[in-house]
């Protein structure tokens, strides 16, 4: 297994890099299962990259992470029904899907989460 510093990958949207950094601080290192997909019409096919999938070994743990992410991150204030994190797939294919937009923002100060 290789470790990649996503903060150094300039093709990843700056907001996605901040989100991934936030997740690592809160939950430790994560396994990224998908980043860029050539020809993908969605967030995995954009430049800068706005979509990332994370491994979810246990659904209960993944749902806890998803809840935390959506508690502190807002996808787009103009579209409040859309979320930054969601669970996708069935069984062993279940994973955490992350997506950001140019308007994605933190709902509250980062420091307040860890005090």
Mapped onto helix, strand or coil, the DSSP state of residue 21 is: helix
List Cβ neighbours of 84 (8 Å cut-off, separation of 6 or more).
19, 69, 70, 73, 74, 75, 98, 99, 100, 104
Is the whole model's pTM more than 0.85, yes or no? yes
Give the DSSP H or E segment for 97.
Answer: strand 95-99
Write out pLDDT tens, residues 56-112. Answer: 989 999 999 999 999 999 999 999 999 999 999 888 889 999 999 999 999 876 555
């Amino acid at each position: 297994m290789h470790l990649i510093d996503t903060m150094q990958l300039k093709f990843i949207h700056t907001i996605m890099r901040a989100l991934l950094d936030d997740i690592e601080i809160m939950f430790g290192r994560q396994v990224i299962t998908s980043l860029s997909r050539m020809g993908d019409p969605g967030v995995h096919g954009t430049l800068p990259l706005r979509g990332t999938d994370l491994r979810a070994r246990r659904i209960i743990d993944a749902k806890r992470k998803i809840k935390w992410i959506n508690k502190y991150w807002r996808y787009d204030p103009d579209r409040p029904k859309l979320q930054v994190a969601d669970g996708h797939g069935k069984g062993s294919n279940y994973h955490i899907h992350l997506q950001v937009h140019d308007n994605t923002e933190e709902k509250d100060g980062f420091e307040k989460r860890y005090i």
